[in-house]
Structure formats: structure tokens, C-alpha cells
Amino acid sequence: MDTGANGILVVAVGGNALAADPTTSTMADQLAAVQDAARHLVELESRGWRVVVTHGNGPQIGALLRQNELAAETVPPMTLDFCGAATQGSIGYLLETALNNELRRRGRDTVAVSVVTQVEVDRGDPAFQRPSKPIGAFMSEHEAEHARSQLGWDVVEDSGRGYRRVVASPEPTAIVQRGVVRSLLDAGYLVIAAGGGGVPMVRGADGELAGVEAVIDKDLASAVLASDIGADILLILTSVPQVALGFGTPDQRWLPTLDATTALTHLEAGEFPEGSMGPKVASAVQFTRAGGRRAVVTDLDSAEAALEGRAGTEFVR
């Protein structure tokens, strides 16, 4: 296996890039999206990088939760941490298959392998007291009241479109399987890890880990993973080619570079929304400040050019 001459590259792929809406997308649609992503990812590997792929799971976990709701009278619902692990496994399977097929087509002897990853969070994280991450399907007011009273869910109105469940989204502190991921990389594998931000775990006084019902932002988890395994570059893929100021307005301005201090100033001013670009900017800043060589935000089609400095937004200290 090729051990990768350029260094370690962590690539964070958004869940929407794999399936915009799994409730309407067929498996064939999802497989086609994953195959497209695989072509770009294998191109990066073929250029001499040791690649770790992380991925989102927002659309997929939403679909699984909806399945839980519809089947609740027949099959006991799964807890949120279990759903996170399940989507890690299913998306990992799709990515693993697509990557290995693409590697074979190109005559590469690298093998892709998926690791269901646990991520430590702090039991005392304030996020547990202020659930804010919307998940699952929209509900009517009647359904929302039932969810509050009978299921114990935290439910909020979402932009006048209905009601949604909200859960805690604590900060990731460490990747439990970081040593495994690094060992697999060193052995020449292309690794898929920390899917959906990983399964959130808290450590008890006895040192044992237990899953908690929460979700971790996958970009923040990717930054922690990248630092934990000594990655050189964190490449965050999204739906736009660069980070922008005034996004979607007549004054929109694309940013080819962004230093950490300026990025945080814009972030605190609300320039980068919490539900979209905000965590990506925060993750890029976190990784570069922790000693990472480069962090870049761009779209899937620009991934190769971004690594060559010809596309995307590059974050500098």
C-alpha cells in the first residue's frame, strides 16, 4: 500500500452531499451521490495524501428518526446515540464500497475501511442545559405537545414552518478511536471515521464510557480528529466554493483567505450562521490554532484545486 508522501489529509464531506433528502431520495440516488464523492476523494489519495474521510449524517439521521416515529407502535424506538451509530455504519458502508470500487478502477492497492467512532464530550457542557440542535421531521402543534408530554422531548417552533425536536450539541473533546485511525493510516488504509460527528460519549468517575442522547457537529469533530492524529490539512467540503461575507446579498464578497482573528470577529458578529457556515469557520480556526498546517473550505468539485491553492478559502493563523 502507498503510505502517502504528502502527509495526512482529513476531508469533511457534508451529509447533504451524500443525500439531500433521504426521505425522497432512492438508494440509487444516494449511491450515485456517494460515487461522485468517491471519485474526488480517490483523486486526492492518488496524489499522495494519506486520507481520512469524515462525513455528515443530518439528512440520514432525520430519516431514521422518522422511521422510528412511524414504527413506534410496533417496534421500540432507538435512542439518539444508537441512531447516530446506525447512520455511521450505513453511510460508512456506502462510502467504503464506492471508494474501494473507485480505487480498483484506478489500479490503486489502497483499501478503504470504515470505523464506527466514539467521541468524548463533557458531561458538564452547558449545551446539555440548552438543547438547540434541530433534528427530525417537522411537527404540528398537536404533535409537538404530544412529544413534549409523552416522550419528554424538547420541542421548539422552527421559523414558522412547524415544530421540531431540539437536542444538545456539546463540544467534542477527544476522539476515542484516534489511535486506531492513526494506526490504519500508517498501515496504508484510506480511513472513514467520525461520521456524523461520532457517537457522543461521557466518561464516568470509574473511567467507563456511556453514550448520551446528543449530536456533535461533524466539522468540529473533524477538527478534533485532525489534531488528534497529527493531520497536516483539514479540508471542509460544503455547497459553495468559498466562504463569503454578506452571503446571498447584493454585497456578497468571496474570501480567498481569512485569518483566525478576523474570522472569529465575523463569527461573533453573526456573519456566519450557526446552522451552516458557522461551525465550518470555527472548525477551520480551531485546527489552525492547534498547530495544523492548513485548513481550507470549498465545495466538492473544487477539492483538488483547493489543495493546490487555486480555490476555496484558506485559513491562516
The reply to whether 124 belongs to the active site is no
84: nearest Cα among 216, 210, 199, 217: 199
The reply to whether 15 belongs to the active site is yes
The reply to whether 16 belongs to the active site is yes
Q: What CA–CA distance (Å, rounded) separates 145 from 280? A: 34
Catalytic residue among 58, 68, 197, 280: 280
306 CB-near residues (< 8 Å, 6+ apart)? 235, 296, 298, 312, 314
Catalytic residue among 14, 15, 58, 92: 15
Catalytic residue among 4, 133, 198, 312: 133
Catalytic residue among 16, 101, 162, 278: 16
Catalytic residue among 57, 68, 100, 218: 218
- Measure CA 47 to chain center: 24
Q: Residue 21: what residue type? A: D
Side-chain-side CA neighbours of residue 185 (13 Å): 27
Active site residues: 15-16, 133, 218, 280
